[in-house]
Amino acid sequence: VLLVFAAACGSSKTSAPPSPSAPREVLLPDLSRMDASVQAQVKQRHATLMEKRKAGASGDELGTAYGEYGMLLHAAEYHEAAEPAYLNAQDLMPGDVRWPYYLGHLYKSIGQTQKSIDAFTQALDRSPSEIAALVWLGRLYLEQGKPDEAEKFFTRAADLPPRNVAVLSGLGQAALAKRDYPKAVSVLEE
């Protein structure tokens, strides 16, 4: 009861109690296609993560370890191994926008559009003014041929400072897709 009360009283950036489900298994993949220096970094991050788990770390500390391990695997294009690390980080750090945002990129890079949309949406739930997530959602909807949906996200992003070229380009592309040529010209000229 005290843990639940403490979590409820904390800010949105503090960790929630551990997820009721067990953490996903995070493995050290076959690193043979990596340079030796990158292999050493991945092995060190994995060892650090395992040490933190063994020591009973929780919340932000363990979530950060999972997330950083996932980022390294993601950068090396080990997408399948990075996913559970990001998911664990996301569960342990429910107020942190990084992990659903990175998951959105991971899913986008492997062609899982709906999962990417869901992850970027979750990032927006955590930080409604996250311009990058708004832009990526707009782009994903444009790729799906849904310019009305795309325009909603680009418009939301356009209302946030500063004026952003990616946002204006997205608004112009959405207008073009809707055959609203005067608006497209105006926004793209801007």
Direct distance between the N- and C-terminal alpha carbons of the chain, in angstroms, rounded to an integer: 55
The residue with tokens 């708004």 is 134
The rounded distance, in Å, linking the Cα atoms of 22 and 14 is 20
Q: pLDDT at position 163, please?
A: 85
Going by C-beta distance under 8 Å and a sequence separation of 6 or more, which residues neighbour residue 13? 95, 96
The rounded distance, in Å, linking the Cα atoms of 77 and 86 is 14
Q: pLDDT at position 167, please?
A: 96
- DSSP assignment of 32-75: TTS-HHHHHHHHHHHHHHHHHHHTT--HHHHHHHHHHHHHHHHH
Q: pLDDT at position 21, please?
A: 60
E strands in 67-180: none
Q: pLDDT at position 162, please?
A: 86
Going by C-beta distance under 8 Å and a sequence separation of 6 or more, which residues neighbour residue 111? none
Please give the C-alpha separations between residue 102 and each of 9, 56, 65, 85, in angstroms, as whole numbers.
28, 25, 15, 11
Q: pLDDT at position 58, please?
A: 83
The rounded distance, in Å, linking the Cα atoms of 71 and 82 is 7
For the entire predicted model, the pTM comes to 0.84
Q: Tell me which residues of the chain have a pLDDT lower than 70.
A: 1-21
